[in-house]
Amino acid sequence: HPIDALIAQLPKTELHLHIEGTLEPELMFALAARNGITLPYADIASLRAAYDFGNLQSFLDLYYAGAGVLQSEQDFYDLTWAYLQRAHADGIVHTEIFFDPQTHTARGIAFASVYHGISRALEAAEAEWGMTSRLIMSFLRHLSEEDGFAVLEQAMPYLSGIDGFGLDSSEAGHPPSKFQRLFARCRQLELPCVAHAGEEGPAAYVCEALELLQVCRIDHGVRSLEDAALVQRLAAERMPLTVCPLSNIKLKVFADLAEHPLRRMLQAGLLAMVNSDDPAYFGGYLADNLLACRRALDLGADEIVQLVRNSFEASWLAPAQKADWQ
C-alpha cells in the first residue's frame, strides 16, 4: 500500500513509551541467564504465549514480574539501547520515554543504576544518530502517595537528567486526586507533569488530572470521548492525548482496532497521536501501530501526516527543533 511507504519514511516522534515495556522475551531470557534467575517459562515461545491479557491489571502483573530480570546498570543500558536501535530503524528521531523507578527500588535496585543505565543509552543514541530524547520519571499509582514522595527524594540528585513526571499503573480505584500533594511538589521543581488517565478509568479521571494535577499532557485519554464538554475543553486547550492503539486492543479497552476512536479524535479537533506504550508486550512498535491503524481504519495520507505532526507539536522539543521536523 502506498501509504505504508509514507509511514516508514516520515521522521517520527514517540511520546508514550515505557522502557520496561520494551523488554523483548529474547532479552528477558538473556538477562535472566546473566543474573542467575530462573523464569517461570520453559522458553521464549511459552513466555510470548502468556501475552494474552484480559485487562490492564493482567498485563501489569506480567510486566512487573518481567522487569525482575533488570538488575545492573548494564541491564538497563542494554534494555534501552535495544529499544533505541529499534526506534531508529523505525524512523523515530525524537523519543520521550517513561521509566518506573519504584518497580526497581522496591526490589533493592539502586535508583542510580536504573537512571545511569537508561541515560547513558539515550546519550549514545544522540551521539550516534542525533536522536533526541526526554526522560519522564513515572510514579506507580497502585502505591501510596507517601511512597511516591520517597522515590522523588531518591531522584533529587539526578533531576538535571529528568525532564518530567508521570503517573501510571493500575488506574481503576487510584484516581489522580490520590497524588495531588505529590504533583504539587513536582510542579514546584518546575518540571512538566503528565498522567495516564481515561485508559480504563472514566473521563472524570481525565478532568482530575487536568484540574488537580495540572498536567500538560494526558496519556491515553481515549475515554475522554464519553464527556462532550471535556472533549471541547481538550480541543480548545490543544491538550495532547498520547493514544496507544495496539495497547488498547491488547488490554481490551476496545474489542477491535476497526472500532478504535482514533479518527473520531482527530475529527473532534483533539491533539491526538499514535504511540506504542509497551511494544514488547503489545505486538508492535510505533510504525507497526501506524500501519495497523492505517489498515483497520483506512486512514489516508493526510491523517497519517496529521498524526505525525501532532506528535511533534505535543513533544517537549524546543520550538526551533520542532520547526526542523515540520
Report the catalytic residues.
199
- Give the whole-angstrom CA distance, residue 132 versus residue 126: 6
Q: Which of 15, 27, 56, 93 binds ligand HPA (CB under 6 A)?
A: 56
Instruction: State the cell numbers at 316.
Output: 517537549
Residues between 191 and 230 with contacts to Zn ion, criterion CB under 5 A: none
- Give the whole-angstrom CA distance, residue 258 versus residue 277: 19
Dihedral sign of CA atoms 288, 310, 299, 262 in order: positive
Q: Which of 19, 278, 279, 314 binds ligand HPA (CB under 6 A)?
A: 278
Residue window 235-274: x/- pattern of binding to ligand HPA, with contact defined by CB under 6 A: ------------x---------------------------
- Residue with smaller CB distance to ligand HPA, 3 or 66: 66
277 binds Zn ion (CB under 5 A): yes
56 binds, among Zn ion, ligand HPA, none (CB under 5 to 8 A by kind): ligand HPA
* Environment class of 145 (CB within 10 Å of its CB; exposed 0-12, middle 13-18, buried 19+): middle
Part in contact with Zn ion (CB under 5 A); list of ranges 144-152, 248-256, 273-281, 318-326 = 273-281
Contact 67, 23 (CB under 8 A): yes
Among candidates 146, 76, 140, 164, which has minimal Cα distance to 112? 76
Residues between 140 and 199 with contacts to ligand HPA, criterion CB under 6 A: 168-169, 196, 199
DSSP 198: S
Which positions touch Zn ion (CB under 5 A)? 277
Where does this chain bind ligand HPA (CB under 6 A)?
18, 21, 56, 63, 168-169, 196, 199, 247, 277-278
